[in-house]
Amino acid sequence: MRAGVAGGVLSTLAVAGASGSANAAEPVTQTLELPILTADLAAQAAQSADATQQAAADYELRAARDAAAAEAAKEAKADLKEAKQKAAEAKKKAEQAARKAAAERASRDTERATLTATASVDTGSDSGDTGGSSVSTGTSAATGSAAAVVSFVQAQVGKAYVSGATGPSAYDCSGLVQAAFKQVGVSLPRVSQDQSVAGTQVSLDNLQPGDILYWGGAGSAYHVGVYIGDGQFVGAQNSSTGVVQKSLSYDPPSGAVRVL
């Protein structure tokens, strides 16, 4: 009986051993395939990580470009606004300057018209004869430097009047007088106010060719011209007439100075 039991146990162990050996063989086969599957998965994961990283880099680059473009557009808009403001300010200043210049010209023209009307009433004539006025032709013949001044201003008759112009194609009143005396080496101040006190004051009944005539007060004159003799003067009057030669009665001066 013991021998039978022992035989049965041994048989059972043998079967279990065989079964265990068979079961142990299967994992060996599966273990051989696992490294291959793991390597593929690692490669795929690496590729996915690279793709994700590249996508992130591309997105970051696009975001940076978009931000730069937005900032550039913002700066351009600000620059345009500033440029428009500066242009508007410049236009406003130009318009103000033009209105001021027009007002000054109108004021001068009004004063001249008033003086002319007064002279016409006083003399009873609008001709070259000054009658009972205090304006006299004085010496008629110009000589020396005075003749050169007279010749120069007469040569400019017909040219345009432009405020601030000093020749050679256009003049304002003081620019013409300054240019005329420059021909004979005399340096005069630029503006009418200063030119009206640049020489010796002379009476209007003792004028000589080359004398500087002025309209308004000495030191505050608003217009100047050059006496050329025979009761005539040359002056850059205004933008409508330009440089003209006229009788003294056309626009009687307030005073005169002698430089030569």
Q: What is the pLDDT of residue 118?
A: 42
Q: What is the pLDDT of residue 47?
A: 79
Please give the Cα distance from 108 to 110 (Å, whole number).
Answer: 5
**136 Cα distance to chain centroid:** 50
User: For residues 101, 105, 111 and 115, what is the CA-based torsion angle, rounded to 10 degrees?
Assistant: 150
DSSP code for 124: S
Closest CA to 243 of 182, 142, 145, 167: 167
* Alpha carbon distances (Å) from 103 to 99, 123, 164, 203: 6, 30, 15, 31
Q: What is the pLDDT of residue 13?
A: 47
The token pair at 189 is 């101040």
The overall average pLDDT reported for the chain is 79
Low-confidence ranges of the chain (pLDDT < 50): 1, 5-6, 9-10, 13, 15-16, 20-22, 24, 114-134, 136
Helices assigned H by DSSP within the chain: 2-123, 144-155, 173-182, 192-195
- Residue 196 · residue 202 · CB < 8 Å: no
Residues 6 or more apart whose CB falls under 8 angstroms from that of 172 comprise 161, 162, 163, 164, 165, 166, 236
- Residue 227 · residue 211 · CB < 8 Å: yes
Closest CA to 224 of 190, 247, 200, 183: 190
Record the pTM. 0.50
Please give the Cα distance from 83 to 81 (Å, whole number).
Answer: 5
- Residue 245 · residue 157 · CB < 8 Å: yes
- Within 13 Å, how many C-alpha atoms sit on residue 136's CB side? 10
Q: What is the pLDDT of residue 33?
A: 53
In which element (H, E) is residue 257 found? strand 255-258
Query: Phi/psi at 128 (nearest 5 deg)?
Result: -70, -15
